[in-house]
Amino acid sequence: MTGSRAAAPSAAVQIFGVKSSPAVRAAERFFKERRVPMHFVDLRRKPMAPGEIGRFIDRFGLAGLLDTAGKPYADAGLAYLRPSDSDLLPRIETEPGLLRLPLVRAGGRLSIGHDEATWEAMLAVSFRLACVNQKP
C-alpha cells in the first residue's frame, strides 16, 4: 500500500526546518521511507512567508509554535521577557530555533514538532483524496 501513496500527487509534503535539527531529519526520513514527494525549506536560508507562518499560528497559536524548552529560547531570555506576539514574529524569522521543528504541511493539514501519528494521518487523508480524485 505504501507504493500507492508515492504515486498520489496530492501526497506531496512540505517540511520547514533546519538541517541540524534531529526532529527535522526524522521527518525527512519518515517521508522518504514511505516514498512521499517532499519539499524541504531551510529556515536558516529562507524565512517562512507571512501567510505560511500565519497558517500555523491560526492552527496552533504562536505560543504553541515556540520551543520553550529549547536552548535558543532560554538564550534569548524569552522566559523572562514575555514579549508580545508582534515582537516574537520578527525574532522567529531570524532565529528558527525558537520554533518547535519541524513544521510540516500536507495540503491543508499541519503539524509541529516530531509527530509521527499526525504524519501518518496526513498520508492516509492524502491517499484517500487521491483515490477519490482518480475514480472515473
Nearest C-alpha neighbor of 16 from the set 32, 3, 4, 27: 27
Domains of the chain: 2-66+100-134 (3.40.30.10)
Residue 121: CB partners within 8 Å, gap ≥ 6? Answer: 109
pLDDT at 7: 39
Helix (H, G, I), strand (E, B) or coil at 36: coil
**In the predicted model, what is the mean pLDDT of residues 29-56?**
93
Is residue 15 a contact partner of residue 27, using CB atoms and an 8 Å limit?
yes
pLDDT at 5: 42
Write the burial class of residue 98 (CB in 10 Å: 0-12 exposed, 13-18 middle, 19+ buried). buried
**In the predicted model, what is the mean pLDDT of residues 30-53?**
93
Q: Tell me the pTM.
A: 0.81
Taken in order 89, 59, 54, 15, is the CA torsion positive or negative?
positive
pLDDT digits (tens, 9 = 90+) for 56-86: 999 999 989 999 998 999 898 888 888 888 8
Residue 23 has pLDDT above 90, yes or no: yes
The span from the CA of 9 to the CA of 38, in Å, is 11
Question: DSSP state, 12?
Answer: -
Helix axes 116-134, 22-33, angle to 10 degrees: 30
pLDDT at 132: 46
The span from the CA of 47 to the CA of 37, in Å, is 22
